Copies of this chain bind each other. A is one copy, B any other.
Amino acid sequence: MDERALVRRIKRLSEGQAPGVVLGIGDDAAVFRPTAGEDLVFTTDMLVEGVHFELQTHRPSDVGHKALARALSDVAAMGAAPRFCLVSLALAPACGERWVDGFYRGLMGLARSTGTALIGGDLSHSDKVTCDVVACGAVPGGEALRRDGARAGDLIFVSGTLGGSALGLNCRKGAAWRRHLRPEPRLAVGSFLRETLRATAAMDLSDGISLDLRRLCEESGVAAELDGPLPLFPGATVEQALHGGEDYELLFTVSPGTVVPAEFRGLALNRIGRVMAGAPGAVSRGGQPLAALGYDHFRK
């Protein structure tokens, strides 16, 4: 397997027409033609062996799925529709053709089901498998959902249930483990938040709500109180729901009076708190300050 053969395999796996893609894999750069009136959103997410997954326990197709799912979750949080992605992959010595094929099959499965074209990337090698996915989505000009629009009085909601990924990482079986391995980016919810609910702010939950809600509040210059019950993944603890990472649900705020349905396409939408005036980033629960114990790569 040389680099040229590998690129040919990936190119074959990624084939198919996609709107706006003028030139895909194989040149110095891919070429994309934007649609007039649309803004483009860009996000990039790294997945590192030994940090985000293990070769022993994660199948290559799960790694490929998750690598793209993490980036598309950010696209969903902006209320955008996916357009394309580029994938950089450093392979470890243990990764042969079967691993590479599995990785790209998992990634392309999610890419196809979400309308995301694979238009480029880079290949390298390293001691540990390292993958970086950049994803692009499109929204009508000026309509991207942001973190900085929450105002005192807004209501705080979350999609789905929390703590499932942390539970799965702990027990390594059943529905929770599948949740951890194969998160689903909430793209339809994101579009619904933007188009119909006109959410004032939104973000995806990647590092635990205790840390992520603080980030949203800091960007918006507000405080927050979690005064509702947290929707728990079956079997998950409140601690897993508060501080566990990788749930990839959407956290969002709406103006008071907004009618939010109890569910959207089978996914629950639960009110969990309210935005308040106060020290930017201060989050409380049951009247007590809530420590931001979610995942941080660099905390000592």
Contact = CB atoms under 8 A, between A and B. Distances in A.
A141 interface: yes
A276 interface: no
The quantity of this chain's copies bound in the complex is 2
B125 A127 contact: no
B34 A40 contact: yes
Nearest to A138: B34
B23 A120 contact: no
A50 interface: yes
A299 interface: yes
Interface size class of A (residues with CB under 8 A): 35 or more
Interface string A46-87: 101011100000000000000000000011011010001011
Interface of A: 1-4, 6, 22-23, 26-34, 36, 38-46, 48, 50-52, 74-75, 77-78, 80, 84, 86-88, 90-91, 119-128, 130, 132, 134, 136-137, 139, 141-142, 144, 146-148, 202-204, 215, 219, 296-299
- For the complex of A and B, the 3 pairs showing the least CB-CB separation, nearest first, are A29-B43, A132-B132, A34-B34
A205 to B, nearest CB: 11
Given A90-B48, A144-B22, A297 B123 contact: yes
A286 to B, nearest CB: 25
B51 A126 contact: yes
